[in-house]
């Protein structure tokens, strides 16, 4: 019985999960719990992962490959054009580009927190493998394994804080330029 509760041996899969920034603080036993909730998806270059305006159900973690995050050209709405008209321009990557993310990073994280719509489109910039963590599984984790959920929430808060700082500094640079 004692051996049954020995510290969990890690597997290559759990090691890979541990390297992801969202799960970096989790122990092997905690990773095992989280691993049971994760899904893997393969996307081809150019394939849409989710659209701007979709209701977010999950957070995506990039295991390999790159993902382009882009927004529709706000001007198109103002001019009264059909929003779909901006899609070809966005597809070329020259308009509305927000970021290009690589392995280990995650996106769509706001979906873990609320039911709000996706604020940007995510598209595979190269063939990529994504790990998907569904919001309801995360909410379930808050109820059943609050310690694990709090560790993930902390990483999420750190990530959002860093993004806010980046945004604030870029806004102050813009103001100085103006």
Chain residues that interact with other proteins, rule: CB under 8 A: 4-8, 29-30, 32-33, 36-37, 39-41, 43-51, 54-55, 57-58, 115, 132, 134, 136-137, 144-145
Strand 106-107 with 58-64, pairing: antiparallel
Which CB atom, from 139 or from 164, has the smaller least distance to other proteins? 139
CA 109 to chain centre: 5
Considering beta carbons, is residue 8 or 154 the nearer one to other proteins? Answer: 8
Residue with Cβ nearer other proteins (1 or 177): 1
CB of 45 to other proteins, least distance (A): 8
Output the smallest distance, CB 176 to other proteins, in A.
41
Is the CB of 54 or the CB of 159 nearer to other proteins? Answer: 54
Shortest separation between residue 31's beta carbon and other proteins, angstroms: 11
Which ranges in 23-128 belong to alpha helices (H)? 28-35, 74-78, 87-91
Beta strand extents in the chain (DSSP E only) = 38-43, 48-50, 58-64, 67-70, 97-101, 106-107, 121-124, 128-134
Residue 65: name the closest of 33, 41, 94, 101 by CA.
101
Shortest approach of other proteins to residue 170 CB, angstroms? 30
């Amino acid at each position: 019985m004692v051996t049954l509760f020995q510290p969990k041996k890690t597997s290559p899969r759990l090691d890979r999960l541990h390297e992801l920034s969202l799960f970096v603080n989790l122990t092997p036993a905690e990773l095992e719990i989280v691993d049971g909730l994760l899904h893997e998806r393969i996307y081809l270059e150019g394939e849409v992962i989710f659209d701007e305006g979709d209701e977010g159900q999950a957070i995506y973690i990039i295991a390999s490959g790159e993902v382009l995050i882009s927004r529709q050209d706000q001007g198109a709405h103002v001019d009264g054009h059909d929003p779909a008209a901006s899609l070809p321009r966005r597809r070329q990557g020259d308009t509305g580009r927000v970021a290009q993310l690589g392995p280990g990073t995650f996106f769509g994280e706001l979906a873990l927190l609320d039911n709000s719509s996706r604020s940007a489109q995510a598209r595979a910039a190269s063939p990529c493998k994504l790990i998907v963590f569904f919001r309801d599984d995360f909410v379930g984790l808050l109820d059943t394994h609050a310690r694990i959920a709090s560790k993930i929430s902390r990483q999420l808060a750190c990530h959002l804080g860093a993004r806010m700082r980046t945004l604030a500094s870029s806004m102050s640079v813009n103001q100085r330029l103006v």
